[in-house]
A and B are shown apart, each in its own frame.
Chain A
Amino acid sequence: MSNMATTIDTDKSRRKTVLMSSALGYVVIIGISLATIVILSLLLSETPGKTLHYFFLGSFQNLYYFGNMLNSAIPLMFGGLGIVIAMRSNNLNLGGEGQIYLGAFVTTITALALAPLHIIGLIVALVLGATCSGAVSALSGVLKYKWDTSELISSFLLSNALVLIVNYFVTGPFMDPNTNLLATRKVPEVFRLHKILPPSNLSSALFFAIIAVVVVYIYLFKSKGGYELRMFGINPKFALYGGIHKAKNIVLPMFLSGALYGIGGGIAIIGTYYACVKEFSAGMGWNGLAVALIAKNRPFAVIPAAIFFAYIESGAKNAMLHSDVTAELAMIVQAVVFLLVTSEVLYTLYTNKKGKLS
């Protein structure tokens, strides 16, 4: 305790040090991940030059690939934001897989039912999708508040069940009889978002994602609700001491987290897929979690983190199409990124070098 307070270094230079070490950490992470790609390509590919070319540059080769890469980052942004909100309140929502799928399904069938209502129908559909996913996630929050059940486990298990239930509806009562696809009917034209980078799939959903980032940022850092949520996340005892509501800050963040996943699912439908295809969203929930971890729970950092994740995935896809590697390459690289990001060590490399921290 008594080793402080003689001369206080300026706040600015301290912040600069922290910022630099974190930037350095990211450089190391990106460097190692890219090195992994190079090494794996050399090992696994007969034509490593071609593989690497398509992996790194494929996404920038034409507007089609580039737009699709950005498009696949959109659901990751929503998922990432969902996790950011949950983690800031010290809750963890592992039910993203089910919630994104449920949101997409509910949005689809509502949109189909409300086709004559045009824009109002669209808003109702998205809100309903978000609410359903939010409610499922909030249920885990209620269980945690009432009986101290781990929200981590309950959200994960609920989500697994949800996927199966939605599968039943998509391939059963709501399946489109006119195609051979395991999918619902397509939402009417009026509900579909504009393509902004033809011929790619990139739609105006990107703007929705950016708006969501801004809204989440303002909520977390500028509003009273967000302040309470963050304080509860940092130290629940302190929050209670300050008169902050306990139930509200377990259930509400979980609801918002699920709702963001739900909207992500709904927007993927109206922006890209138009119909709820069986398990079209598999993996998006988990990747959202990874994106939030890379972003270190900062809303604005979710955008580059999601794009980086999508870049690696689409790079692997391109390499797979044009060369001889398999999709597992992307998975391995993503796993490496994940590992590096979650190990805090790299961020403190710079600060630790100059001697022991107290």
Chain B
Amino acid sequence: MDSMPPDSAENTEAYLRLLTQHDRWLATYVYSLVSRPADADDILQEVKVTMWKHFASFEAGSNFRAWARKIATNQILNYRRSEQRRPGSTLDDEFIEIVAAEIDRCADTLDRKADALKICLRKLPEAHRKIVVWRYYEDCGVEEIAAKSERTVEAVYRLLSRIRQVLNDCVSRQLSPAPVS
């Protein structure tokens, strides 16, 4: 069956709009299911390419996530098969299935959290912001950050862990119906 990529400007725009809307969800999905960050990046890239190629098969108005989920799961399973790290292991299949279900379950909450995260990021003190930028913008590993900041790896790990905890707690607080003056 033919699945030529869409070529009209209208389709491109529709695709980009949907992708932008569901981008964080898709990233969460893939990053949660693939252990190695570098692999996750590749797979995520591959999923987006595949989705674009097959965007013609997506019915406008139907559920984009369900469609994207199918493609992403296929890509992850393909990656796993080609890697064949531990043949015969069923753990990964089970893990993917169960974690995917959990992401589906809280997809709505995760969506609402996105804006809260921006508020929380802006509350971070200067020292923490630098670490976040190193880790997530410059994509530095813990060792690199340790070298840059003249800390031990363990100390950097603990700091990162604490920043993420602070952000997560802050996001939860933002979502709970707290009194706003």
Are A and B physically bound partners?
Answer: no
